[in-house]
């Protein structure tokens, strides 16, 4: 294997592995040792450092073109990335899975918005992004990064349920009973028209900027351009 691709693989493993290690086996002892606030800072620092390493390794790796999946792949990617962004944006508010002192109160409410789709909208947003890039079958380096993100999102969501059950007890168990891990795609319209409008506007900006960031048009710009 090309050394640059090997380095990217190691960076991807470090990114995923440190997330799992700090979120699960190392979390409790580190929180006891340094406190919740410093631990969150350490977690963020490690996540940022390993993500930056992965990005730099991605840029250094050769494209190793796989040929692409053609128009079908681009259509799949275009269709998936908009709901991915909507799920991610909707997950940033009133999400009991995020570290927040009000998490138990959030978990006691009815599951509306993106939480009517899944209790892990952020993770599924990342997963859809990853699947969209795998569907393109663009390059080996893209598959490595997208595969790492997909694994982290879907396995991480399962592990998060277990962790939250231990931390929040009945509050999280009740939230699980009212929500679902696997998305109810028919509930996507319940995310709300305002969220979809914001997601669409941001999606147009992001896909347009993809031309300048990656040198490849994406989304509607692939056909408009």
For 132-170, the pLDDT digits (tens) are 999 999 899 999 999 999 999 999 999 999 999 998 999
pTM of the model: 0.92
pLDDT, one tens digit per residue, over 183-197 is 999 999 999 999 999
What count of Cα atoms within 13 Å lies in the side-chain half-sphere of residue 22? 19
The single residue listed with the structure tokens 């692939």 is 222
Structure tokens at 197: 């409008």
Burial of residue 191 (number of CB atoms within 10 Å: 0-12, 13-18, 19+): buried
Token representation of residue 165: 């059950």
Hey, how many other C-beta atoms are within 10 angstroms of the C-beta on 33? 10
Q: How confident is the model at residue 225 (pLDDT cuts 50, 70, 90)?
A: low
């Amino acid at each position: 294997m090309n050394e640059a691709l090997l380095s990217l693989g190691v960076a991807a493993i470090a990114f995923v592995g440190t997330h799992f290690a700090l979120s699960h086996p190392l979390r409790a002892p580190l929180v006891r040792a340094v406190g919740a606030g410093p631990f969150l800072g350490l977690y963020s620092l490690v996540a940022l450092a390993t993500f930056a390493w992965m990005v730099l390794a991605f840029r250094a790796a050769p494209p190793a073109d796989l040929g692409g999946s053609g128009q079908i792949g681009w259509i799949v990617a275009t269709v998936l990335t908009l709901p991915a962004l909507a799920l991610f944006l909707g997950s940033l508010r009133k999400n009991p899975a995020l570290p927040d002192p009000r998490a138990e109160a959030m978990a006691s409410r009815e599951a509306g918005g993106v939480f009517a789709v899944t209790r892990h909208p952020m993770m599924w947003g990342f997963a859809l992004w990853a699947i969209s890039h795998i569907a393109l079958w663009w390059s080996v380096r893209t598959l490595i990064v997208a595969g790492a993100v997909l694994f982290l999102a879907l396995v991480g969501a399962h592990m998060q349920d277990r962790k939250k059950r231990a931390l929040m007890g009945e509050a999280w168990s009740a939230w699980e009973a009212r929500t679902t891990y696997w998305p109810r795609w028919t509930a996507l319209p319940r995310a709300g028209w305002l969220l979809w409008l914001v997601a669409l506007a941001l999606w147009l900006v992001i896909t347009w900027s993809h031309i300048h960031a990656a040198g490849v048009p994406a989304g509607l710009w692939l056909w408009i351009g």
